[in-house]
Amino acid sequence: MPVRYTPLGRTDTIGASCHFLDIHGTGVALDAGLDPEEDGPASTPDFRIIKQEPDWYIDHVLVTHAHHDHLGGLPVLFREFPHALAHMTPATRKLADVLLPASARLQRRRMREGSSAYDPLFDEEDVELHSYLYLTHDPGDPFDITGLNGQTTVTAEFFDAGHILGSAGVLLTYEDEGTERRLFYTGDTNPNAQTIIPGGTYPEPPIDTLLLESTLGADPEAEQTTRREEERKLRDAVVRVLERGGNVVIPVFAIGRAQEILALIDRYKQRGDIGADVPVYTAGLQRAISDIYDKTRTDTPRLNNDFRVYGVDQERVPRSSQGKRRGLHEPSIYVVTSGMMFEGTLSNWFAQRVVEDEDSSIILVGFSKEGSPADRLLTAAESAEEEMHVVLDELVGPQQLRCEVQRLRFSGHGTRRDLLDIVGRLKPSRVVLVHGDADARTWMADNLAHFYPDVEVTNSETGKTLTL
Ligand SMILES: [Zn+2]
């Protein structure tokens, strides 16, 4: 009986990460994400694919990290497969305990406000009920995940992935016709150190099958910039704006980027690049996550175990509009969500307030989906017109764009060169490309064929089963 692999999430975009493996009777899901581009049932992995096969079942789900597109569908998986057990690192569990209830509340609010036509996929009680099914394992501690009907022993082991706090790649080891086989799933991975967390670690070669993320496969710019350069540019931009009395708005994602940027601002303050008394504002879920970063600082990989995100002086963004406006009178730094400046979020609110002020700056440090307010701002800033306008919020309409707009690269993903290096290091017989749009995977496939002609490269396709 062969080992079979079937992706359950969309594979033509970043989509919802969820990969099913049938390993001689043991059913394993790698990640259980929700698709951020979709709403309601369309955002979940397609579990019908498994239900249609009489012998398929999920015994174990391994969650690589706490991003929504890898973790967000876990309560849905438990509803479909109530006897499954979830495995994750201790830090991912701490993040899940904050993020899944927050996701349930957000879904309920969106339904109530009419911004979603669907009932919530789960509520806080579901999340609470399932949380006793989470088992935690430190990277480097192998654990058994053989299913009830498993005919061979299946062992799993986490490896630090260098992507966000708690992130891990997964090594599965099992026997196949008398031979030991090794499959490694990268999850989202970054071999390079960021500001708080060090780069990822990987198993010893060789690997039989490598499920490789391809997020930055179509991004030539990423490999032409170095983190050091971006850090310098950020420092220069912040110094420049504060000196001329403006405000700095840095839209961030709540997990990872927010904490990494605060760590950099702290460094600029420590070195005297900017005044120690310059107010730094943060808010919301990001603060709860920063607290988890701090609580895990001695037992998760860090570049500096003494660094605390809350060691960086920060004020909570005032709730009232009046309070927020008052803060803007003094040159300040706003590290606020959402990263793409969606309407109704704090980063959008502050961007609207500073966009017409030529002394201020909006610094984008993450990915901007096409059509998002952050993308509209970048497009407007890059247009050569003398008088530029941008719509940050449809309800407000066009605003004159007079502030400085800068885009810097602080990705938590390895560049495409890094991904090729990972293949060189792990020496797999086969690579299955996951988690990347079509262009990204085409580039990866072409370059893998060029640099590693002996490696068999396959593109994953939703619902299409590969025999490994
Ligand atoms: Zn991620």
pLDDT in tens, 255-311: 999 999 999 999 999 999 999 999 999 999 999 999 999 999 999 999 999 999 999
Distance 175 CA to ligand 1 centre (A): 30
Report the amino acid identity of residue 433: L
pLDDT band at 57 (very low <50, low <70, confident <90, very high): very high
Distance 188 CA to ligand 1 centre (A): 5
- Percent of the chain at pLDDT above 70? 100
Distance 189 CA to ligand 1 centre (A): 8
Distance 170 CA to ligand 1 centre (A): 14
Distance 142 CA to ligand 1 centre (A): 23
Distance 72 CA to ligand 1 centre (A): 11
* Eight-state DSSP code of residue 234: H
Distance 207 CA to ligand 1 centre (A): 23
* Phi-psi group of 108: left, alpha or beta (phi > 0 → left; psi -120 to 50 → alpha; rest → beta): alpha
Q: Cis peptide leading into 90, omega within 30 of 0?
A: no
Adjacent-strand bridge partners of 78: none
Distance 64 CA to ligand 1 centre (A): 9
Neighbours of ion ligand 1 (CB under 5 A): 67, 188
In angstroms, what CA-CA distances link 136 with 63, 168, 374?
A: 10, 12, 37
Distance 167 CA to ligand 1 centre (A): 8
Distance 326 CA to ligand 1 centre (A): 36
Distance 452 CA to ligand 1 centre (A): 26
pLDDT in tens, 408-446: 999 899 999 999 999 999 999 999 999 888 899 999 999
Distance 114 CA to ligand 1 centre (A): 28
Average pLDDT for 176-191: 96
Measured in whole angstroms, how far is the alpha carbon of residue 7 from the centre of its chain? 19
pLDDT band at 221 (very low <50, low <70, confident <90, very high): confident
Provide the pLDDT for residue 36: 84
Query: Token pair for residue 220?
Result: 């030539």
* Eight-state DSSP code of residue 335: E
- Percent of the chain at pLDDT above 90? 89
Distance 73 CA to ligand 1 centre (A): 14
pLDDT in tens, 122-159: 999 999 999 998 999 999 999 999 999 999 999 999 99
* Phi-psi group of 81: left, alpha or beta (phi > 0 → left; psi -120 to 50 → alpha; rest → beta): beta
Domains in the chain, start-ordered, CATH in brackets? 4-219+412-467 (3.60.15.10), 226-400 (3.40.50.10890)
Distance 385 CA to ligand 1 centre (A): 36
Residue 387 pLDDT greater than 90, yes or no: no
Provide the pLDDT for residue 437: 87
Q: What is the CA radius of gyration of the chain?
A: 23
Distance 411 CA to ligand 1 centre (A): 10
Distance 63 CA to ligand 1 centre (A): 11
Distance 376 CA to ligand 1 centre (A): 24
Contact 163, 188 (CB under 8 A): yes
Is 293 strand, coil or helix? helix
pTM for this one? 0.95
* Phi-psi group of 26: left, alpha or beta (phi > 0 → left; psi -120 to 50 → alpha; rest → beta): beta
